[in-house]
């Protein structure tokens, strides 16, 4: 009997010692793509697609993407003064209107590993709504993957979920959340959504796996395994480990696929639209894209 136990234990050790197909990559070897996130003020999709507000709406209709027009040599060409001014930001813009986020990705047969690193500014406008009470988070990092059936998913990124009547927009209802026009969760018209939250002072970190369809739901996702963050002297690194496929509301990913995504970072304890957000980019699993996930 003793012998049997011993050999069972030895067998177990062997299993653990075998090289694992499911381990995070050596990040020092994974290329980093810098993506700028910015304070977008009140520029929901209704604003961006209306010619009277935004001449870019014409190019957008012809098939150009937000990033195609607004990212030049890794920088954003926005008029930040205009974005910080009363018309587009009636409440108050942060001092730092944009900052770079390093994005790295890798995948293996079961998982996607996504790592974002950045130094969040702590200078949100005093008037911006905050989570000063419990639960409070110094920093929150969200990644949205847009399912292929969302109209213009590959061009507009998170703007597909950002509407003029969402809470914290001027004159909007306080309980109205993000949504996708023509949402159909079972039919694939949704955005997948994962978020890491730091907790106060980095303590009590947590993460969630949700989606945005008819409204934003902060749970029910089955793909996110974990999200881990660290704050080293104000420089944050957050790593998401996600199964390639999950359940309803999880974008199914596979080798060779290109997935539209965006990033939103709440700094300085802000909430709602008071984040710095990226334009829409693409993630390729071993395929050509803005961020190429290498096979691990
Ligand atoms: C065909 C090129 C083009 C496309 C595509 C485009 N834009 Fe623009 N965008 C412009 C131009 C030109 C301006 C400045 C003039 C104006 O506002 O009409 C501008 C202005 C803006 C501004 C205001 C700040 C500023 O610099 O004036 C924001 C915010 C903005 N665009 C966001 C977006 C978003 C979000 C998308 C995608 C949903 C997008 N743009 C797509 C060309 C484009």
pLDDT in tens, 258-286: 999 999 999 999 999 999 999 999 999 99
Q: Taking 50 as the threshold, does the pLDDT of residue 144 lie above it?
A: yes
Please tell me the distance between residue 38's alpha carbon and the centre of ligand 1 in angstroms. 13
- Distance separating alpha carbons of residues 30 and 294, to the nearest angstrom: 8
Segment 216-262, tens digit of pLDDT: 999 999 999 999 999 999 999 999 999 999 999 999 999 999 999 99
Query: Which residue among 42, 53, 56, 80 is best mutated to probe the pocket of ligand 1, counting the most ligand atoms within 8 A of its Cβ?
Result: 56
- Distance separating alpha carbons of residues 99 and 195, to the nearest angstrom: 19
Provide the pLDDT for residue 123. 95
Does the C-beta of 113 come closer than 6 Å to ligand 1?
no
Residue nearest ligand 1's atom 41 by CA: 66
Closest alpha carbon to 168 in 275, 96, 263: 275
- Tokens 């213009």 belong to residue: 152
Residue 261 · residue 270 · CB < 8 Å: no
Exposed, middle or buried by CB within 10 Å (0-12, 13-18, 19+), for 276? Answer: buried
Provide the pLDDT for residue 21. 56
Residue 60 · residue 155 · CB < 8 Å: yes
Provide the pLDDT for residue 15. 47
Please tell me the distance between residue 134's alpha carbon and the centre of ligand 1 in angstroms. 37
State the pLDDT confidence band at 2, using cuts at 50, 70 and 90: very low
Residue 116 · residue 238 · CB < 8 Å: yes
Provide the pLDDT for residue 132. 80
Please tell me the distance between residue 239's alpha carbon and the centre of ligand 1 in angstroms. 31
Mean pLDDT in the chain? Answer: 92
Segment 32-46, tens digit of pLDDT: 999 999 999 999 999
Residue nearest ligand 1's atom 40 by CA: 66
Can you tell me the mean pLDDT for 159-181? 93
Provide the pLDDT for residue 17. 44
The distance from CA 23 to its chain's CA centroid, rounded to whole angstroms, is: 22
Does the C-beta of 69 come closer than 6 Å to ligand 1?
yes
Closest alpha carbon to 163 in 292, 48, 62: 48
- Residue with more model confidence, 157 or 136: 157
- Distance separating alpha carbons of residues 239 and 196, to the nearest angstrom: 9
Query: Which residue among 38, 69, 84 is best mutated to probe the pocket of ligand 1, counting the most ligand atoms within 8 A of its Cβ?
Result: 69
Residue 75 · residue 36 · CB < 8 Å: yes
Q: Looking at ligand 1, which atom is closest to the CA of residue 49?
A: 38
């Amino acid at each position: 009997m003793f012998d049997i136990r011993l050999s069972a234990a030895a067998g177990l050790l062997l299993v653990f010692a075998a090289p694992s197909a499911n381990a995070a990559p050596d990040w020092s070897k994974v290329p980093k793509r810098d993506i700028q996130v910015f304070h977008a003020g009140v520029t929901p999709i209704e604003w961006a697609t209306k010619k009277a507000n935004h001449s870019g709406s014409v190019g957008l209709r012809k098939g150009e993407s937000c990033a195609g027009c607004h990212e030049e040599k890794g920088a954003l060409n926005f008029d930040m003064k205009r974005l910080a001014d009363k018309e587009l930001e009636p409440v108050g813009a942060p001092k730092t209107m944009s900052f770079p986020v390093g994005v790295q990705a890798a995948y293996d047969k079961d998982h996607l590993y996504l790592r974002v690193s950045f130094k969040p500014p702590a200078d949100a406008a005093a008037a911006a709504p905050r989570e000063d009470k419990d639960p409070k988070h110094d920093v929150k990092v969200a990644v949205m993957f847009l399912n292929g059936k969302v109209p213009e998913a590959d061009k507009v990124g998170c703007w597909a979920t950002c509407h003029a009547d969402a809470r914290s927009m001027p004159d909007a209802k306080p309980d109205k959340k993000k949504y996708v026009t023509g949402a159909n969760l079972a039919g694939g018209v949704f955005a997948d959504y994962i978020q890491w939250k730091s907790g106060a002072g980095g303590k009590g970190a947590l993460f969630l796996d949700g989606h945005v369809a008819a409204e934003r739901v902060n749970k029910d996702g089955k793909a996110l395994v974990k999200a881990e963050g660290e704050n080293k002297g104000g420089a944050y690194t957050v790593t998401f480990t996600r199964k390639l496929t999950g359940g309803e509301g999880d974008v199914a990913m596979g080798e060779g696929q290109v997935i539209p995504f965006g990033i939103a970072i709440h700094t300085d304890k802000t909430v709602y639209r008071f984040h710095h957000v990226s334009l829409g980019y693409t993630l390729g699993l071993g395929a050509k894209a803005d961020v190429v996930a290498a096979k691990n």
